[in-house]
A and B are shown apart, each in its own frame.
Chain A
Amino acid sequence: MQLASHFLGDILDSIIVDVASECHRIARLGLDRNLEEEEEEMKLSAQARVRVADPSSSSEANSKYVVDIFGQTHPAVANEIFECMNCGRSIMAGKFAPHLEKCMGKGRRARPKATRSNTGASQNRYSRSSPISTYSPYSSSSSVNRLSNGTPGVAGEEYGDGAFAET
């Protein structure tokens, strides 16, 4: 039993000196990171979150807008009116996208495959779990890796299926 703990002690000593030697080299060669800077960053980050979370302070992130920096106000739904370049009708800006979707006949029909390109845009290329280089023109062919905006509507499900159409 004593012999075993003696060997364990030796192994630990060896490992400790190994790590010390490695760190010594990194420090001497100036390869280490600036710890002071990093600590400063962490402090700033913590301070920032405290200030933003404080309900008494004016929370810029969440307060309702009164005027923008140019002194302008804007309605909840953009009310600029312009002509749809597809059908020629006059549409209100804030309703343009849903109009265009129907106008162009998108959203409810199966769509053709997109062309491939060379931007090397695939996430799977260097994702941590797959060593084999797979290629897809868009960042993900599954709906998993996306942060969506807007509200899920009836067309949502349809869209979800549509996303898998090209692989």
Chain B
Amino acid sequence: MNVQIKEKHLSIPIKMFSTNPTYTNPKPCKHLADYKLIHGLNGYNSLQKSLKTTPDGRTAMNRDQSKIPRCSFCSGYEGRMYFCLICSSVSCCSSSDSNHAFLHSQTENGHEIAVDMDRAELFCCVCCDQVYDPDFDKSVMIKQILEMPRNNNGMDLSKEKSIKRRKLVSKVISDSKISKELVLRMDRGSKSCFPWGLRGLNNLGNTCFMNSVLQALLHAPPLRNYFLSDRHDRETCRKISSDRLCLSCDFDAIFSAVFSGDRTPYSPAQFLYSWWQHSANLASYEQQDAHEFFISMLDRIHEKEEQVRRPNKDDGDCFCIAHRVFAGLLRSDVTCTTCGFTSTTYDPCVDISLDLEPSNGSSTEVADKSNKLSQNISTLLGCLDLFTRPERLGSDQKLHCEHCQERRDSLKQMSIRRLPLVLCLHIKRFEHSPIRKMSRKIDRHLQFPFSLDMAPYLSSSILRNRFGNRIFTFEGDESDMSTDFELFAVVTHSGILESGHYVTYLRLRNQWYKCDDAWITHVSEHTVRASQGYLMYYVQKMLYYKASEEMNCLLMSPRGDPFLPTAECC
């Protein structure tokens, strides 16, 4: 699914709305196909009444509550029990020598398809293998939905409002067309083979926390296109709002400066002044956190837009540029472990803060051939797994279950209902000891990929997994948003919790640059991979490659003709 792009000037045919094939439909074996032809859905439907679902989402056959199912051949009750879909007899399979399920298929003609009673899975007695049929899964799911306590168990089967998303994406694309023209006008004359918009930012006195985030945002494709295509008009802004302060205006000024072609380091003094006027409690030049700054900045941009125009009332979505680029939707399911009742809530987010997964136990072991020691490395995927793992809420956190009408032990599970255009992943590199009332930074290395597929963390995938991975359409499946992301910026922190230094690595046209305040240098992939990631910025793959294409088109040839792409000269 991930395409390795080696050629820098390769034009990638990108389907704008690629549907997400979340699962493949396996081909049935001959025996299952024959069974379906003869019996259709009869067997599945009559089976429904015998199915029983437990609160953890697992379905089993529960034919007779008073008797243990016994094998029709040996009357045994041990081993795996298989229920014949044609004659309803039960056969056991305890070993390859004692396979009565197979025996049944040989003694009774055509009795080849059975159901594993413990898991409600189809089993072909001749192939001796688990087989799959969407119709069977659908039948099981319908029973599950009907049986589970009210409230659909978080299984909201309503149609996704994908119309707004499409408008958003197409708007972003049209933005990029305008910005390309603008840049051609702006940068004409300066012969440059350096990436567009690469410029150092002066440290104004411990402001690397701000510089590092600014560098990442200046190169976030949808944000860059928005500001460069003059979507935030400073003139209009001043006229409209009575409050002359506007962080977006100051941010716009930085874009103009950084993309002007001037390569001497820029001092974002006006921006700092503006930000401090808005964020009174954060106005201190010492001990600032880059993530806090990022959130604060988005907050200011959002607030200003809210003053100017009211957000859409019908679905509560905000269409300010901060939300349009960074906002996603998180889903939280809290399930009662007694009855299975699930309460679901949705919360918007502009980033995802991840706990650093512990290196002992849940992460991948790497046995490096050159290095005899095998190490346990924390990975970004591991952190995302941890984020979406069901968490047992403590006994002191018992929640009131609507169905049981009592306080019960519960499980909580997070998932992503809607992905943003730009995904900011924040790694919580700190440990707090309540006893010693101290925190310390976790320097442990975190492996992070350059290409990221977020599909396993979507609500549809998490839900599907919770209900046994049945072939069934879950909420969000019909979404046309791609789940493939490309890394374009990494904000790293070095030093201790109380003091340190922030540096940003930018990926432009598949080359990495280090932005260390005023210093812009070229670095190799290795440096980035080995760095200590704190904030990782990923953008939808399609937008990343579109931005790269634009970069290529803007390389000036020595003759100053903007339409002829040049080969790499640096």
**What's the interface size class on B, roughly?**
35 or more
What is the 8 Å Cβ interface bit string for chain A, positions 130-150, against chain B (1 contact, 0 not)?
110100011110011111111
**Interchain CB contact under 8 A, A96 and B205:** yes
Q: Which of B41-49, B116-124, B539-547 has 4 or more CB atoms under 8 Å from chain A?
A: B116-124
Q: Is the CB of B519 within 8 A of A65?
A: yes
Residues 1-33 of chain A: 1 if any B CB is under 8 Å from the residue's CB, otherwise 0? 000000000100110011001101110111101
Residue B355 is within 8 A (CB to CB) of chain A in the complex: yes
Please give, as numbers and ranges, the residues of chain B lying within 8 Å of A51 by CB-CB distance: 526, 530
Chain B 1-40 interface 0/1 with A at a Cβ cutoff of 8 Å (1 = within): 1100000000000000000011110100000000000000
Residue of A nearest to B464 (CB): A31
Among B269, B428, B530, the residue within 8 A (CB) of A85 is: B269
Contact between B368 and A69 (Cβ–Cβ < 8 Å)?
no
* Distance, CA A147 to CA B471, complexed state (A): 44
Known A-B contacts A69-B194, A70-B263; the reply to A85 vs B203 at CB < 8 A is no
Residue in contact with A119 in the complex, picked from B1, B24, B322, CB distance below 8 Å = B322
Query: A42-B377, A65-B519 in contact; A48/B529 too (CB < 8 A)?
Result: yes
Complex formed: what's the CA distance from A24 to B517 in Å?
Answer: 51
Secondary structure type dominating chain B contacts: mixed
**Contacting residue for A98 out of B285, B323, B498, CB 8 A:** B285
- Contact A82-B267, Cβ < 8 Å, known A60-B521, A101-B284, A144-B439: yes
From B200, B209, B371, A149 is in contact (CB under 8 Å) with B209
Nearest Cβ in chain A — how far from B487, in angstroms?
Answer: 12
Contact indicator per residue, chain A 40-56, by CB within 8 Å of chain B (1) or not (0): 01111111111111000
Our pick among A29, A80, A145, A162 for the contact of B430 (Cβ within 8 Å) is A145
Which of B162-170, B226-234, B270-278 is the contact stretch? B270-278
Q: Which of A17, A68, A143 has the most chain B CB within a 10 Å cutoff? A: A68
Q: Judge if B513 is at the interface, Cβ distance under 8 Å.
A: yes
* Contact partners of A46 in chain B: CB under 8 A: 366, 368, 371, 375, 377
Contact residues on A (Cβ < 8 Å of other chain), bracket:
35 or more
Q: Which of A37, A45, A107 has the most CB of B within 10 A?
A: A45
Is A42 within 8 A of B366, CB to CB?
Answer: yes
A74 x B518 contact (CB < 8 A): yes
Q: Is the CB of A152 within 8 A of B286?
A: yes
Chain B nearest CB: distance from A71 CB in Å?
9
- A74-106: contact bitstring with B at CB < 8 Å (1 yes, 0 no)? 100110101001100000011111111100101
- B469 in contact (CB, < 8 A): yes
Q: Is B288 an interface residue (CB 8 A)?
A: yes
Asked if A80 contacts B202 (CB within 8 A), the reply is: yes
Are A29 and B364 also in contact (CB < 8 A) when A74-B200, A148-B498 are?
Answer: no
Cα of A119 to Cα of B302 in the assembled complex, Å: 7
> In the complex the two chains form, is A78's CB within 8 Å of B291's CB?
no
> Cα distance A37–B290 when bound, in Å?
31
> Are A29 and B469 in contact, CB atoms less than 8 angstroms apart?
yes
Say if the beta carbon of B128 comes within 8 Å of chain A. Answer: no
Set of chain B residues within 8 Å of A43, measured between Cβ atoms = 366, 368
Closest to A150 in B: B206
Q: A38, A61, A137, A166 — which one has the most chain B CB atoms within 10 A of its CB?
A: A61
A113 vs B209: C-alpha distance when bound (angstroms): 22
Cβ–Cβ contact A149 & B283, under 8 A: no
Say yes or no: B279 contacts A49, CB within 8 Å: no
Q: What residues on A are CB-neighbors of B68 within 8 Å?
A: none
Residues of B within 8 A of A24 (CB): 130
**Contact A78-B432, Cβ < 8 Å, known A48-B529, A119-B350:** no
Contacts of A138 in B (CB 8 A): 281-282, 292, 295-296, 299
B220 in the interface (beta carbon within 8 A): no
Is the C-beta of B264 less than 8 angstroms from some C-beta in chain A? yes
Instruction: Tell me whether B497 and A93 are in contact (CB under 8 A).
Output: no
Contact (Cβ within 8 A) A38 B364: yes
A94 to B265 CA separation, bound complex (whole angstroms):
12
Contacts of A160 in B (CB 8 A): 287
Contact B269 A52 (CB under 8 A): no
**Contact A112 B288, beta carbon cutoff 8 Å:** no
The answer to whether A144 and B430 have CB atoms under 8 Å apart is yes
Question: How far apart sit A25 and B570, CA to CA, in the bound complex (Å)?
Answer: 50
Q: Counting CB contacts under 8 A, is B85 at the interface?
A: no
Residue of B nearest to A17 (CB): B80
What 1/0 flags go to B486-523 for Cβ under 8 Å of A? 00000001010111111000000000011011111111
Q: Which chain A residues lie closer than 8 Å to B520 at the CB level?
A: 68-70
Q: Are A121 and B500 touching (Cβ within 8 A)?
A: no
With beta carbons under 8 angstroms apart, the residue of A72, A114, A131 that contacts B280 is A114
| Cα separation A24 to B198 with both chains bound (whole Å) | 49
Distance in Å: Cβ of A94 to nearest Cβ of chain B:
6
- Does A119 contact B205, Cβ atoms closer than 8 Å? no
* B204 on interface, CB distance cutoff 8 Å: yes
Which chain A residues have a beta carbon within 8 Å of chain B's beta carbons?
Answer: 10, 13-14, 17-18, 21-22, 24-26, 28-31, 33-34, 37-38, 41-53, 60-61, 65, 68-70, 72, 74, 77-78, 80, 82, 85-86, 93-101, 104, 106-107, 111-115, 117-121, 123, 125-128, 130-131, 133, 137-140, 143-153, 155-156, 159-160, 162-163, 165-166
- The 4 A-B residue pairs whose C-beta atoms are closest, nearest first, are A150-B206, A97-B205, A146-B289, A48-B529
A/B interface sample: 20 pairs, CB < 8 A: A14-B80, A31-B22, A31-B469, A37-B2, A42-B447, A45-B530, A49-B445, A69-B194, A104-B277, A119-B299, A121-B295, A125-B347, A145-B430, A146-B292, A148-B287, A149-B500, A150-B286, A151-B499, A153-B286, A165-B281
With A72-B265, A119-B295 known, 10 other A-B pairs at CB within 8 A are: A21-B121, A28-B26, A29-B469, A114-B280, A118-B311, A119-B323, A131-B334, A145-B289, A148-B209, A152-B498
Residue positions of B touching A, CB distance < 8 A: 1-2, 21-24, 26, 78-80, 116, 118-119, 121, 130, 132, 194, 198, 200, 202-209, 263-265, 267, 269-270, 272-273, 276-277, 279-292, 295-296, 298-299, 302-303, 306, 311, 318, 322-323, 327, 330, 332, 334, 345, 347-350, 353, 355, 364, 366, 368, 370-371, 375, 377, 379, 381, 391, 393, 397, 399, 410, 412, 414, 428-430, 432, 439, 441, 445, 447, 449, 456, 461, 464-465, 468-469, 471, 493, 495, 497-502, 513-514, 516-531, 534, 570
